[in-house]
């Protein structure tokens, strides 16, 4: 296995199955962000939203998105893949991680499921008090971890 695969699989395992993240979307040079309940399955990130929401319309216009939590930034391409309850893998994990949201929203007629295929992930990690920037270029399967040095 390559260094990229080793580090990326370790990152995904550490990330876990579900987190509340900030999703940023844009349309016509206007960016908006909001908190979302997100699950991760096999390296893709999934969330649901209502077709009447601003983010839904932005996602239909521009598939490029960013997800952020703590010291992790994820850039990727987002695609609608159906209704939440039509995807057992999503429903099972989402219900386990976010039962309240699952119960309140997943069965609604207007809810749609989206998958984010990450293209680039960056996070800050620390060795004691020394900061490093860890980067995953998923498309090219390149990994780097560089000590942060300000100019």
Q: What domains sit in the chain, N to C, each tagged with a CATH number? A: 17-122 (2.30.110.10)
pLDDT at 27: 93
pLDDT at 56: 97
CA distance 39 to 88: 13
Instruction: Output the pTM of the full model.
Output: 0.95
pLDDT at 147: 96
- For residues 72 and 123, the answer to whether their CB atoms sit within 8 Å is yes
pLDDT digit of tens for each residue in the chain (151 aa)? 799 999 999 999 999 999 999 999 999 999 999 999 999 999 999 999 999 999 999 999 999 999 999 999 999 999 999 999 999 999 999 999 999 999 999 999 999 999 999 999 999 999 999 999 999 999 999 999 999 987 7
pLDDT at 104: 97
Nearest to 87 by CA among 48, 37, 42: 48
pLDDT at 93: 98
pLDDT at 39: 98
Q: How many CB atoms lie within 10 A of CB 139?
A: 10
């Amino acid at each position: 296995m390559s260094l990229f695969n080793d580090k990326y699989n370790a990152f995904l395992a550490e990330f876990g199955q579900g987190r509340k993240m900030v999703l940023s979307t844009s349309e016509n040079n206007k960016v908006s962000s909001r908190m979302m309940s997100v699950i991760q399955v096999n390296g893709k990130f999934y969330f649901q939203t209502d077709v009447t929401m601003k983010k839904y319309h932005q996602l239909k216009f521009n598939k490029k998105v960013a997800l952020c939590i703590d010291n992790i930034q994820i850039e990727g391409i987002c695609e609608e893949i159906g209704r939440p309850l039509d995807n057992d893998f999503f429903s099972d994990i989402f219900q386990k991680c976010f039962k309240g949201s699952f119960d309140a929203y997943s069965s609604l007629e207007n809810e749609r499921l989206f998958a984010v295929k990450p293209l680039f992930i960056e996070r800050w990690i620390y060795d004691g008090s020394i900061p490093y920037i860890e980067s995953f270029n998923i498309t090219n399967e390149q990994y780097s971890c560089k000590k942060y040095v300000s100019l």
